[in-house]
Amino acid sequence: MEDCLLSELKKLKESSKEAVENTDSFNSFKQYMHITRKVEKELSTLINKVKESDENHLILVCGSVGDGKSHLLSYLKSKIDYLSDYFYIHNDATESNAPNKTSMDTLSEVLSDYTDEELRRKNPNKSILLAINLGTLNNFLKSKYADKYSCLHNYVSDKNILKPKIEGNSFERDSYFQFVNLSDYQLFSLTSNGPISHFMEGSLDKLTNESIQNPFYQSYINNCKSGCTAAKTCPIKYNYELLMQDKVKQTIIKYIAELILKYKTIISSRAFFNFLYNIIVDSDIDQIADKDNLEKYLEKISSGQYLSALLPNLFFSFGKHSDRFKNISLIDPVTKRSETLDTLTITFFNTTDIYKIFSQYIEKRVINNEPFVLAINNISKEEREIALNTLIRFYTFTPKESTNSLEINDLIYNKYLSNLFYWNNGNIKNLKQLYTEVIDSIYEWNGKSETGTRMININPGRNQLKYTISQSVNIKQFVKNLDKSNQEILDKFLPYMILKFIISGNENAVLSIRIDFPLYQLLMRINEGYRPNKQDKNNYVNFVYLINNILEYSNQKEVLTITEKSGNNSKSFTILFDEDFGYEFKEK
């Protein structure tokens, strides 16, 4: 289907030949799709520093599968004339040079100038640019060649390259090793107002820019807008036009960031382009081989099939077709519950004018489209649920500004975003509520104390209802470890927070807990009255350890309270410690 936008869009697929990188080839399509990222500037700076240096160096270009290491080296090779003269470029550390060699054998040969023995003897013969996955680097440093590369091992360890920690990577003249780590960068950046993404926004603009340099837009003009008999009813054309809207682009960025932060989804640049293809092109249409069959398919498509093939529905249903994106269904707005949504659902299933409800909630320019209107007006009773899902999902992308909210925002997630930004930025002033809420949840984890605040219930060994034992503990935040950066945009950040605490009477013991979004969400629910069950405690065993350590490090002179419950009555007893007279047990 050369005369169709679909053929151009197929270049975005992971299975397309354009997805395969080769340092010796960087065609015009890849040149167009390239987006300059900060890591490119970092690497370019290192390359220039190495060129100016009197010694040769090994530059590790580290990252995960599909995150753009090979693309980056290919692009720089096409742009920097001297690169091949000054550097040996090894673009895939997972391949071997010969059938009888492993990738580790090949890697050791490539790095032979950087063994401990060679570095002691002389300056390496050549500088090397090595694109390497973190897993491969870890395996190499544990392989049979490890003893030869202790200097490299020490460098990787000192720079925390294999650990989830953000490290600076400026040029070090006294070291033979340099690095950039693409894994330090998420697909998005953090701000006090939420996530933004130069890469994702740039990628979306590359698809939709109204420019003669844009092959997608030119195909859209030459085919979809000129003479295609299927254009009027084609969901691909509709989705492409929807993607042109800035509001739609920002919503995509927002939800991708949410998917990454909530469920630790790893989305490489290659996977993101593939995702864009799949939210424009329905899987059924993707299987159609030629334009004639596409036209026949669109002639027979039902209202439900047409609605299902539209971008907001493809976006939230893609998890059915991709294990990587399986959790996207968990942030689907149709799974939310609110009084407003319940009222809308009842109205929707009892009205005779569905389009009127759409016009109350969705921007007119989005739904004022003949195929869309026909699909809504001709929807069958069996497909009405598809129509309702379409309404709710479209509302998240293109809501009518004058419409009252459907109350589908995740307020806990929004708070987490703010706290994550302030913690990574070392903004202590704005973290007071976070530490207060987490400390409150520590006190509430084992149930609310019968005798008041600042006490943690202790499990006496087996479940029983008659006695509650509570330990008095004074927990305080420890924030001296936070480095203040005052950056308005965080390009490098950890997707979780590490909070530290001290206990009154034992201030030398600093206890810490890593809080990602699932744990944060649970702690906020506990503060609202939820009691963690056995499964929660199994899932967050590190938080259980934190509480046990708090009790262990707490001052043994603190008050221990035992509450005995008998029907509606209860008695409380305290165990106190006096330095002169020892322990005292008495009824309160």
- Environment class of 528 (CB within 10 Å of its CB; exposed 0-12, middle 13-18, buried 19+): exposed
pLDDT of residue 502 exceeding 60 = yes
pLDDT of residue 450 exceeding 70 = no
Q: What is the mean pLDDT of residues 335-357?
A: 92
pLDDT of residue 503 exceeding 70 = yes
> For 451, which DSSP code?
T
Q: What is the mean pLDDT of residues 428-437?
A: 96
Digit-coded pLDDT (tens) for 4-56:
899 999 999 988 776 555 555 678 888 899 999 999 999 999 999 999 998 99
The partner residues of 562 in beta bridges, in order of sequence, read: 469, 573
CA–CA separation, 279 and 289 (whole Å): 19
Digit-coded pLDDT (tens) for 267-303:
988 899 999 999 999 999 998 877 778 888 988 899 9
pLDDT in the model for residue 28: 86
Angle at CA of residue 12, ends 6 and 15, nearest 5°: 100
pLDDT of residue 138 exceeding 90 = yes
Share of the chain above pLDDT 90, in %: 66
CA–CA separation, 94 and 107 (whole Å): 8
Q: What is the mean pLDDT of residues 396-411?
A: 88
Q: What is the mean pLDDT of residues 509-516?
A: 95
Task: Identify the CATH number of the domain defined by range 34-184.
Answer: 3.40.50
From 451, 459, 418, 410, select the one nearest 437 (Cα to Cα).
Answer: 418
Q: How many CA atoms lie within 13 A of 477 on its CB side?
A: 18
From 229, 227, 362, select the one nearest 307 (Cα to Cα).
Answer: 362
Q: Is the dihedral of CA 299, 304, 309, 311 positive or negative?
A: positive
Residue ranges per structural domain of the chain = 34-184, 192-409, 419-587
pLDDT of residue 244 exceeding 80 = yes
CA–CA separation, 312 and 281 (whole Å): 12
Secondary structure (DSSP) of 210-279: -STT-HHHHHIIIIITTT-TTGGG-HHHHHHHHHTSHHHHHHHHHHHHHHHHHH-----HHHHHHHHHHH
Digit-coded pLDDT (tens) for 150-187:
999 999 999 999 987 888 888 998 999 999 999 888 89
pLDDT of residue 463 exceeding 70 = no
pLDDT of residue 576 exceeding 70 = no
CA–CA separation, 151 and 119 (whole Å): 9
CA–CA separation, 325 and 315 (whole Å): 10
Digit-coded pLDDT (tens) for 206-225:
999 999 999 999 999 999 98
